[in-house]
A and B are shown apart, each in its own frame.
Chain A
Amino acid sequence: MSEEQIKNLEEQFEARIARDEKIEPKDWMPEKYRKTHIRQMSQHAHSEIVGMLPEGNWITRAPSLRRKVALLAKVQDEAGHGLYLYSATETLGISREEMYEQLHTGKAKYSSIFNYPTITWADMGAIGWLVDGAAIINQVPLCNTSYGPYARAMIRVCKEESFHQRQGYEIMIKLANGTPEQKEMAQDALNRWWWPSLMMLGPTDAESIHTEQSMKWKLKRKSNDDLRQQFIDQTVPQAELIGLTIPDPDLKWNEERGSYDFGEIDWDEFWQVVKGHGPMNKVRMKARVDAWENGAWVRDAAMAYAEKKRTSLKKEVS
């Protein structure tokens, strides 16, 4: 194709997106669109998969059967969300194995929030309430994104995600209304998860390199700072309602803006964790790689069985 032709196709392509048309897997798309989507969608999938690990930690120690079935169902949903997203990403021409390879070698990132430890039961509450809460804010606009398979996967994900947040908040309510020790445990979890949750919504707009292009492709509908403000405004009253304190001395309602002002985020910490120096980066990746490698014989055996069945079926027919 000549440069002229490509330019022409690109203009038509951008116009389609501007008209709110969806792009489907076999449609022509600019290489950059394909690559950007592979990067974002696979990282999203990886986050769901690695996101199972911090919570999986507490399944066997859930304090009641009610909590246990809920946590199990939530973790299973996360596996499901990872699978929707991986298969949606595969429609862009990357294989599942390549994506796993990128995750396992550290070439692909996943959400940094999962590199923090889950040291008490209250962390299950804080994760559902805050981490899933922030994830919902990030994900809802993606139900309308331009790439059809991604948008469809996100619609399923968002439908299921709201139970995650509610079950987390319910855990916090119970603890906050419990014994002084239980309330302290809830407050401690909030103290530890609050700032990482704010960081989850991404670097400030001034630092965010992908924003402009992503807005055009509807991979992003609102800027990171707007999403963060939305998250804070919605979460602060929920903390107040159950008598917990947001660990930010600068947090203050701003009458004029109709929003909360909040303190400085420690972006050094954010970048440290992104670069692999968070408290749990190595542990998470090791758990993930071990699970994959130790499961290899199972996958091989299933394949061998399937092949054997096929050949014996063929023999019967002939």
Chain B
Amino acid sequence: MSTKNWPLWEVFVRSKNGLEHRHCGSLHAADEDMALENARDVYTRRSEGVSIWVVESKHITASNPENNGEMFEPAQDKVYRHPTFYDLPDEVKHM
């Protein structure tokens, strides 16, 4: 039996030029070349992409939802970062 398991990779696909790469799933592969080939077969069998990124999952650092408070709440009371915070006369139609 195998002694070493293939590592996990995250797959990002650009569906067409002009759009960003988007995470679409993950897969196992021995190395980056195989990860790319497998990603093509698993995630783009129906022309879903024109470009693929793969990155070994262990290289991704993710925020922890338990810390969502200190992480994201500070943005909530900063309404002055949005255009609707500012009062303008009705005569100004577009700004």
Contact = CB atoms under 8 A, between A and B. Distances in A.
A69 B46 CA distance: 14
A1 B2 CA distance: 39
A96 B65 contact: no
Contacts of A76: 41, 45
Contacts of B34: 302, 306
B30 A80 contact: no
B31 interface: yes
Contacts of B46: 160
A28 B66 contact: yes
Interface in A72-126: 73, 76-77, 80, 83-84, 87-88, 90, 95-97
Contact of B30 (A87, A96, A306): A306
A7 interface: no
Nearest to A77: B45
Given A80-B45, A96-B5, A302 B30 contact: yes
A24 B65 contact: yes
A300 B4 contact: yes
B45 A305 contact: no
Contact of A87 (B4, B26, B66): B26
A27 interface: yes
A26 B4 CA distance: 26
A309 interface: yes
Task: Please report whether the interface of chain A is mostly helix, strand, loop or mixed according to DSSP.
Answer: helix
Contact of A303 (B4, B64, B66): B4
B8 interface: yes
B54 interface: no
B6 A303 contact: yes
A83 B5 contact: no
A286 B59 CA distance: 37
Given A97-B5, A299-B2, A299-B30, A80 B41 contact: yes
Chain B interface size range = 20 to 34
A84 B30 contact: no
Given A26-B64, A28-B65, A28-B66, A83 B6 contact: no
A95 B26 CA distance: 13
Interface in B31-72: 31, 34, 41-42, 45-46, 62, 64-66
Contacts of B3: 300
A87 B25 contact: yes
A153 B25 contact: yes
A83 B5 CA distance: 16
Contacts of A160: 45-46
Nearest to B38: A83
A145 B1 CA distance: 37
Nearest to B4: A303
Contacts of B8: 87, 90
Contacts of A87: 8, 25-27
B42 A80 contact: yes
A296 interface: yes
B21 to A, nearest CB: 16
Contacts of A302: 6, 30-31, 34
Contacts of B45: 73, 76-77, 80, 160
16 contacts: A26-B64, A26-B65, A80-B42, A84-B25, A84-B42, A87-B8, A87-B25, A90-B26, A296-B2, A300-B4, A302-B31, A302-B34, A303-B6, A305-B30, A305-B31, A306-B30
Interface of A: 24, 26-28, 73, 76-77, 80, 83-84, 87-88, 90, 95-97, 152-153, 160, 293, 296, 299-300, 302-303, 305-306, 309-310
Closest 3 A-B residue pairs measured CB to CB?
A306-B31, A302-B30, A306-B30
